[in-house]
Amino acid sequence: MEIIIQPNADAAASLVVKMVEQTVRQKPNATLGLATGRTMEVVYDKLADKHASEGLDFSGCSTFNLDEYIGLPAEDVNSYRYYMNELLFKQINIDLGNTYLPNGVAEDIDAECEVYEQRIAELGGIDFQLLGIGSTGHIGFNEPLSALRSRTRAKALTPETREQNAPMFDNDLNVVPKRAITMGVGTILDSYRCVLLATGKAKASIVAQATEGPVTSMISASALQLHPRCTIVVDEDAATELINTEYYRWIFANEPEWQEFQ
Ligand code: F6R
């Protein structure tokens, strides 16, 4: 794992966008794992810009999103399918037929989860998995005590996560879904590469616990310490509770892999 500290949220998102770009240019038929949430909005905005101004070509790519609320159909403005279509897929030249999200209104949720895993496997696995982190330490919707080897399944959301997401539902907690389908921690760990983006002071404590603390199912993001190729990108605000920052800064400034990202 490496931790890269950028001066601000915009620079952190730009760095993540460069990593996605590198992946897509090296492998035009890459399979991308995608996240939603407020942190990702600027990333998708910048990817749309890259497509419009530099012709970054997504026509050969496939995507799998981490999660979807149970009970929200694709046309619901709060569904993650709606978010992805509006913020990214309609803005780039990806074939919508190659974009996958779990179906939150599937009749048989368990079967839906199984098919999702099979589809990922059929496409050869996820080349690049983009992640955010919730204040409970979740990645996807893997709330505390998610098994470190869990696969795509239904998961109950914590009251904290529901409260955090309530602003998108006009702050009406009653209508915030209680369950979601999410890729498992094990599914995420199977990706070839993963990049977690966290920005803002509110994420500082959980980022430090997940990266410099012990691996524990209480903080799903700590499982990323087991991933062979994982990068955590943070801004200065989200880095404030990290201990070993001098070393992380030295690595980013000196290691050959990062020279093209300076
Ligand atoms: C959503 C997802 C979540 C979010 C996390 C952070 O697809 O995977 O894990 O990344 O809840 O959300 P924001 O960015 O809104 O703080």
pLDDT at 73: 98
The Å distance, Cα 254 to ligand 1 centre, comes to 31
pLDDT at 55 (0 to 100): 97
The finding on whether 138 has its CB within 6 A of some atom of ligand 1 is yes
Closest alpha carbon to 45 in 72, 9, 97, 95: 9
pLDDT of residue 212: 98
Nearest CA to ligand 1 atom 3: 140
Render the burial of 66-94: b for 16+ CB within 10 Å, e for the rest: bbbbbebeeeeeebbbbbbbebbbebbeb
Q: With a 6 A CB cut-off, is 132 part of the ligand 1 pocket?
A: yes
Residues 6+ apart with CB under 8 A from 207: 133, 198, 232, 234, 238, 239, 241, 242
Domain count within the chain: 1
Which residues make Cβ contacts (< 8 Å) with residue 191, sequence separation at least 6? 33, 125, 126, 127, 128, 129, 227
Token pair of 204 as six digits: 């500082």
Residue 19's alpha-carbon distances to 43, 61, 113, 167, 260, in angstroms, are: 11, 15, 29, 30, 10
Task: Supply the DSSP symbol for 190.
Answer: T
Q: For tokens 């790519």, name the residue.
A: 61
- What is the structure's pLDDT at 179? 98
CA dist 193 and 8 (Å) reads: 23
Question: Which residue's CA is the nearest one to ligand 1's atom 2?
Answer: 140
Residue 154: per-residue pLDDT: 98
What's the gap in Å between 31 CA and the centre of ligand 1? 20
- What tokens appear for 102 in the block? 């779990």
Give me the CATH number covering residue 33.
3.40.50.1360
Q: What's the confidence (pLDDT) of residue 226?
A: 98
Please tell me the predicted confidence (pLDDT) of residue 190.
Answer: 98
Each of the 262 residues of the chain gets a pLDDT tens digit; together they read: 999 999 999 999 999 999 999 999 999 999 999 999 999 999 999 999 999 999 999 999 999 999 999 999 999 999 999 999 999 999 999 999 999 999 999 999 999 999 999 999 999 999 999 999 999 999 999 999 999 999 999 999 999 999 999 999 999 999 999 999 999 999 999 999 999 999 999 999 999 999 999 999 999 999 999 999 999 999 999 999 999 999 999 999 999 999 999 9
The pair of structure tokens assigned to 140 is: 């996807």
What local confidence, expressed as pLDDT, does residue 110 receive? 98
Residue 215 neighbours by CB distance under 10 Å: 14
Return the ligand 1 atom nearest residue 131 CA. Answer: 10
Which protein residue has the closest C-alpha to ligand 1 atom 10?
Answer: 132
Domain that holds residue 74: 2-261
